[in-house]
Chains A and B, each alone.
Chain A
Amino acid sequence: DVKVTQSSRYLVKRTGEKVFLECVQDMDHENMFWYRQDPGLGLRLIYFSYDVKMKEKGDIPEGYSVSREKKERFSLILESASTNQTSMYLCASWDRDGYNEQFFGPGTRLTVL
């Protein structure tokens, strides 16, 4: 069964903390993505990666960074969390050569106090 897993379902952090969100996929996909989802705004792309050590900015990269040291793992980093980063974060992966859907992880609901 296809799997994208995320390290935490719920996370509560304080303003200014460094936050790591981890995503792991077991499908050997090249492309991985980080989105945030907010009510009324749909899903917005933060960063994506199409290969190990490669990354591309999405639509809202400010305040975030990413790391992809291994093909199966894509990490989202909030260097100094702020309250406006309270959101649902969704990781996804995709087979670049296929025409199938993106597979999504279960999501991490992050609250920054």
Chain B
Amino acid sequence: ELKVEQNPLFLSMQEGKNYTIYCNYSTTSDRLYWYRQDPGKSLESLFVLLSNGAVKQEGRLMASLDTKARLSTLHITAAVHDLSATYFCAAISGNEKLTFGTGTRLTIIP
């Protein structure tokens, strides 16, 4: 059974700093997804990582995938307040189901 773990669960960081959110998954997965959720809102797709070594960047966010280590990271560069949200990663099992991590609540402090 595929399990997905994120850490940290809560992250409070100052504006301008860099940090990384980690996503580990337990069994082979071909794809890894990152989503953002603002309070009271639905999930917004950030990245889809399709292969080992994949790296994608959008603004101050960069995601990478290491399928051998079963690890994906979401790196935040020079954080700004607008990035405050909950971030979820999700991996896919063979039967087309996504399994989500429990999320990382990120708070950017001025």
Contacts and interface: CB of A to CB of B under 8 A. Distances in A.
Interface of A: 31, 33, 35, 40-45, 48, 50, 56, 58, 90, 92, 94, 96, 99-107
A106 B41 CA distance: 6
Interface of B: 31, 33, 35, 41-45, 48, 50, 88, 90, 95-103
Nearest to A30: B96
Closest 7 CB pairs of A and B: A101-B45, A42-B102, A43-B100, A104-B43, A104-B42, A42-B100, A106-B42
A48 B100 contact: no
Given A40-B102, A104-B43, A107-B42, A45 B97 contact: yes
Contact of A48 (B44, B97, B99): B97
